[in-house]
Amino acid sequence: MDEHVEIERRFLVDARGDKPWRVNAAISQIEQYYTVGELLSIEDGALLHEGETVAALTEAEESHLASTPSWTTRLRRRDEVYILTYKARVSDDTSLELEWRVKEQTALRILSNGPFPSVEKTRYVVNGPDGLTWEVDEFEGALAGLVLAEVELTSSEQSVALPSWVGHEITGLRSWSNRALAETLASRNN
């Protein structure tokens, strides 16, 4: 499988009662900003912002960027680390995903061109009953109370033992993507 392919299933989580995903979880604070890609360009094997290199590209990354027509771009701050992501949907559960770590100074310079549609959340990373890793996101701000969970798979056919706290599956429902949620919030604020 291509190292840039991500296969995942996503679910709503009922967070009204106990929150067992918090027990023994790795926790991180996340802010995600969307549509930052409009500020970036590709030249001489590099991703650029205002003429400065954001990331050096491999041949495979350049090929993916050139051959894939529609990308969602995201700049994520996870704790103190900034990651730039280009993501393109292949099917309901599969995406092509390219990621680069970005220097804080570069990330802040990109974000100074905002505001951008964004979401904030606390992420809990836990193992499910079958040992698969689950990421559970508790959203903050205007989305407080919304909790989504996702599990990454090696194939679309891989079976998954669902934890008891997992609710309705939303895999492939674009209105539940983080980008769609961020854009909905941004449109309400305009």
pLDDT tens column, 15-61 = 999 999 999 999 999 999 998 888 899 999 999 999 899 999 999 99
Domain count of the fold of the chain:
1
Question: Which CATH number does the domain housing residue 108 bear?
Answer: 2.40.320.10
Q: Which amino acid is at 59?
A: E
Q: Which domain holds residue 52?
A: 5-188
pLDDT tens column, 110-147 = 999 999 999 999 999 999 999 999 999 999 999 999 99
Residue 7 token pair: 């296969």
Model confidence at 158: pLDDT above 90: yes
pLDDT tens column, 55-82 = 999 999 999 998 988 899 999 999 999 9
**37: closest CA among 116, 120, 140?**
116
Q: How far apart are CA 46 and CA 27, in angstroms?
A: 32
